[in-house]
Structure 1
Amino acid sequence: MHARSIRNAAVVAAVTGAIAAFLAHPGVVFHAARRGAEIWGTVVFPATLPFLILAELSLGLGIPHFFGVMLQPIMRPLFRLPGPASFALTVGLASGYPMTARLAVRMREAGALTRTEGERLVAFATTADPVFLTAAVAVGFFHAPAYAAVLASVHYGTAIALGILFRFYGDRRDERVPSAAPRTPGELIARAFQAMDDARRADGRPFGRLLSDGVEGALATTFLIGGLLIFFSVLMALLETAGGMAALVGVAAFAGSLLGLPEAVAPALARGLFEVTLGAEAAAAAAVPPEVRLQAVSAILAWAGGSVQAQVGALIARSDLRFRPFFLARILHAVLAAAVFRLAWRFWAHLNPDLAAPAPAIFAVAPPLPPPAVALAAGERLAVAGALLILASGLVLAVTALTAAAGRWRRSRPEA
């Protein structure tokens, strides 16, 4: 049997198992979907949409080309990336995942990045946004705004370190030779403005069309994010109902022990395997010292969860960028964040001895899922858990494979 046939069979089995589980537990599905929708509507949507619209406008106005020329002397030595990648890096860090993947695909389609450069950029610059770190996690979950500085320094600091490590990824032959560096600051600024003006003329769309296209593209991306977030929320609730989370908690406990985390945060790590928001919420409520909870959250934020990884996979599948470097980077980022956090905590605790002082919460999080009305028999529990585990293992593969097939079909269509 060919590998493609096996993959298709796995996708069919995953979808069939999902349908059966959804029909068997409609109440659990409804409550989990509502919870995912509330998180998306109160945190993700308002924090992401404005940045997405501005990013689309900036691309049409040629702003990436301006930053590309200005920051090319820095991007090459640090990350082995061309100057235009600096725009994707800064906007991605500011607006959070999966913005970098979207921008990298756009820049790859425009020829501003090679395949290796695009994979390198997506691998290390896919991070949480500052609004989510501060408002949702530090204030909303921990009730302590002072934790935002600790989380941000670890999250973004280790992301930059990961980018420096990934400069050694890929073949140097898959890179463009940069143009000669300007000899004076005035020449650098003049070249940057000229590049921006050339890009704007090449685009040619009036501002009204730019704004309309930007809003349309941003809404499509945010609804993709919301749909995947809701789906993973439902998947995790069904696994919990069927008893399948026990095995994942065991795996998470083993992985956490390698990072120096106690078994008490294993349920939060298991939730974080699926969805970063739900994992961070569970870690913040764990019965362990605050530094342990924050260390677990740092690892979860770096891992980004299956929901974000599926979003990135769906976006990059529209291009020739590969998913494997990004997935490897998530593992390395989680390990780096958990390891560096202990040093960062000592540093910030020395500066602020009252680091654990609570503060009022801003974001209200939906209440926990209600227990299932009817307990499952052992055989039903095993069957549903098996189907859902198949679904969990094949979901990212299904999203990336189907999206790649759709992209190949669109590219193969003859132009009118």
Structure 2
Amino acid sequence: MRLLHTSDWHVGRTFHGRDLLAEQEAVLGGLADLVTTERVDVVVVSGDLYDRAVPSPEAVHTCARVLTRIGAAGARIVITPGNHDSAARIGVFGAFAAAGGLHLRTRIGELDEPVLLPDAHGPVALYGIPFLEPEPARQALEVPDARGHAGVLTEAMRRVRADLDGRAGTRSVVLAHAFVSGGASSDSERTIAVGGVQDVPADVFDGVDYVALGHLHGPQVLSERLRYSGSPMAYSFSEAGQEKSVWLVELDAGGLVGVERRELPVPRPLATLTGELDDLLVDPEHDEVLDSFLSVALTDRVRPLDALRRLQKRYPHAVHVEWQPAGGRDAAVRFAVRGKDDDEIACCFVDDCRGKRPNRRELALLREAFAAAAREAL
């Protein structure tokens, strides 16, 4: 059996206010091509199918088109919810969807009831563990003393192994959405820490052939059988250096044979620039990033006004600007106020904050405040 391990689609997510549905559909729709060329039997999504618990209609339609393409290419699909999406909403039609090859494993009480899919060597048991928020999961799993994510996932895996013990010779795959010790996070993941504890030891997942992890957005190998696929697209500039991919997992009669990486297309690359605004607006060396999502660090000694709008005239996909003046902000402030009296400093401050200098009445109020402060200092 050949499986495609994916996770963290986050359909409906925006990038610094930019809609990504077209890019997401292009990348995720390409999974159907992998199903065909790699003869994939099953595609798994280990949590965060959507970016929010109540996705927009456009996000739902995008996701439906992608799943339809994957199914039409010949793969069955197994999905579990993560910490972003809603288990109840994803799983509401699970019993009906399974008849068409879409298996939605969303209920905590059924996490030890696998999806059984046959190949030439017999059945493969796929266990979908939905994201387990510790407090409700303790109650649902009847382990009131379990502590944090490690505690509830330990009980979940105990139940999975107990079910496997009654299925002699059955190969097994577990889908789980968690922060496993040894993984590296990025800026686009929402924390799942409760009480300061989010890590789950890797040995919690012992006893199965392959563990398809979700939650962390960078592809990572914790062991040959324990991996993160990462998100199919970059959702923060901290992921600019990552090569987005999925894992092609192969099982034979004896279990895991091997895992290979398959890179995904990049619909729009990420890039960063640093420099003074006037230089960035004209320097031809930066032409190569004109089509990239762009984060800019401005080093001007004085904060430029309306910087993002001005940058977008040359870089239409600039989405983020920070002011990082040479020598630090303290030095920039000292430079900006040097030689100015109180009125000039106050006018500059108000203008910088709201884009408009104080009028006569406002300036009079500021002068009254200065006088009052001077009297208090005596």
TM-score by length of 2: 0.21
**Which is bigger in relative contact order (C-alpha 8 A, separation at least 6)?**
1
How high is the TM-score relative to the length of structure 1? 0.19
Larger radius of gyration: 2
